[in-house]
Amino acid sequence: MSRVLALARRGVAWGHRTENGLLVSAFLLAIALPVVEAAGRPLGGLHIPGSAVYLQQLTLWLTFVGGLIAARDGGHLTLSTAEFLREGGAARRAAALFAAAVAAAVTAVVAHGALQVVFANRQGGDRLGLGIPTWWSELVMPAGLALIALRLAWRGSGRWSGRAAAFAAIAAAFAFGRFGGELSGPFLWALVGVVLAAVVLGAPVFTGMAGVGLLLFFADGTPVSAVPAEIYRLIASPTLPAIPLLTACGYVLAESRAADRLVRFFRALFGWMPGGIAVLVAGVCALFTTFTGGSGITILALGGLVYPILRDEGYGERFSLGLVTAGGSLGLLFPPSLPVILFAVVASAPADQLFLAGFLPGLLLVALTAAYGILVGRREQRANHPFSWRELAGASWAAKWELSVPLLIVGLFASGVASMVEAAAAGALYALLIECGITREIHPRRDLPRVLVKGGRLVGGVLVLLASAMGLTSWLVDAQVPDRLLAFVQANIDSRILFLLALNLFLLVLGSVLEIYSAIVVLTPLVIPLGAAFGIDPLHLGVIFLANLELGFLFPPVGLNLFLSASRFSTPITRLYRSVLPFLLLQGAGLLLITYLPALSLALPAWLGR
């Protein structure tokens, strides 16, 4: 028996290493392909034939291998409300088993639909290099989803009886699809309620999106393959590969000592001011969030560094917690932020113009936060640090490589030398060269695979969520929900000012309960026609949308930054409500200025020749 267990453990370890190796290889190839394309263009059009198709397939592998690793490590986004139940109690165990059973059943059905999509694509006869059929590569979709389903079922309980119940739920889902007949009326909404209840109790959010989409399509008589079919449509977006590439770049920087050098730079730059340390925190958090896209890495990576600095400088606990929590979402509108790129993909908007439109509003939100820090600093900061040109020069020199990363990405993209994806790949490669070859803080063999696996876990979790949300969005469009919502709004609101206020409230509430990437995918198709009906410029509407989601991170009771700070600083979340309230009100005022002063969003694109 012990020998069998030892063999099983070795098999599991081999499986984990294989997953990690596939993910790291896909990451490195995804970085290399766009860089070769961009570098070869000035050399007489040197390029890799079919590189766009290869990159698309690599993104597919990053999505599902990363999603599989996220399922292995518990990295898929959940609401985690089951944490309020007593640790180890029967209610907690029952909630975990119920959530896992529903999540596993939904994911298994989506895997079956993905297999049907792959078999349908096989009829096209497309091939990759060396004559390899494209559908062979696409099998990673159903295989990855099937393995995710198995892992969700296995992790749902530590007991064999619980695991058996979760696997039985998978069988029941297939049996219902085969023999269940029609699905309509109260029974449909009861099943939708079951799926949503599972999400509330801890099932991954992507299973909620996919499960509701599956049920609604099934009730309409549409094959379940309609949900995974949207996966391929999403992956085919030419801009989407920028998300994993920029994630890799952000994780490489976060795992090195870049944060220490950036803090030193901002301290030398602003530490002499009254409240300058608060300005330091706002600035460094905004820069980090620009690369990590509001995923929470800013609070987790910088919180333990900047919070003690604030406390040592005499700032109160409440202000310090509030500033670090609020700083975790600053910078969301600056290039090369991932949410801006994703909104551009979903809304079919030019990403470069959207970045220009968001620059001044983003500066406004940072400036308001910094100004409040200066005001508090005049009262609470013990002493200012004398300004030193020597220290500023030394700090600038020490942080020169990290400070040059955004300049490189934005410069390549804004100049037209490289596309968004090529610029993102160049930034990722540049970060790798800096931290592995120059600062040598990340060892290429010992540390880099671990860093890329951590980044890939986030990529997989986010892109699987996006793909699932796209399925639900497709049903909403097919059911003409945007048209009905537009008709309702036009019938009840005839003032542009009132519409914008209602839009702010709508996005703020939903942005606080939905994860930002799923919120973009689900809500954008609903909001775009409403804005057009009231004559709102698409770029201005995009900035309003993203600024609302940025503020939603702080909105009680379930804003993402509140949960992350509560976990990071071992603080009751109810105490954080009071800590973030001044920042919530301040950034809310900034949001109103952004909403009702469209020149803040449109002046820069117009000045630069939109």
pLDDT value of position 181 = 63
pLDDT value of position 273 = 78
pLDDT value of position 12 = 80
33-44 confidence digits (pLDDT tens): 898 888 887 766
pLDDT value of position 375 = 86
User: Of the candidates 235, 261, 293, which is a domain's last residue?
Assistant: 235
331-378 confidence digits (pLDDT tens): 888 887 878 888 887 888 888 888 889 999 999 999 998 888 888 877
Domain check: are 179 and 304 in the same one? no
Return left, alpha or beta for 561; rule: phi > 0 is left, psi -120 to 50 is alpha, else beta.
Answer: alpha
Neighbours of 88 (CB within 10 A): 7
pLDDT band at 323 (very low <50, low <70, confident <90, very high): confident
Chain centroid offset of residue 109 CA:
25
Token representation of residue 515? 């994860």
Return left, alpha or beta for 294; rule: phi > 0 is left, psi -120 to 50 is alpha, else beta.
Answer: left
- Give the residue carrying structure tokens 């100004």: 371
Domain check: are 201 and 272 in the same one? no
Domain check: are 425 and 510 in the same one? yes
465-499 confidence digits (pLDDT tens): 777 777 777 777 777 776 777 777 777 787 888 88
- The DSSP 8-state label assigned to residue 417 in this structure reads S
* 568 pLDDT more than 70: no
pLDDT value of position 215 = 86
- The DSSP 8-state label assigned to residue 385 in this structure reads P
Domain check: are 59 and 97 in the same one? yes
Domain check: are 148 and 72 in the same one? yes
pLDDT band at 561 (very low <50, low <70, confident <90, very high): confident
User: Of the candidates 235, 259, 279, which is a domain's last residue?
Assistant: 235
Token representation of residue 310? 């604030």
Domain check: are 210 and 354 in the same one? no
Q: Give the structural domain span for 88.
A: 2-235
Number of separate domains in the chain: 2
User: Of the candidates 216, 235, 254, which is a domain's last residue?
Assistant: 235
* 593 pLDDT more than 90: yes
pLDDT value of position 65 = 92
Spatial separation of the C-alpha atoms in residues 593 and 510, rounded to whole Å: 21
* pLDDT > 90: percent of the chain: 14
Domain check: are 471 and 450 in the same one? yes
Q: What is the pTM of this model?
A: 0.78
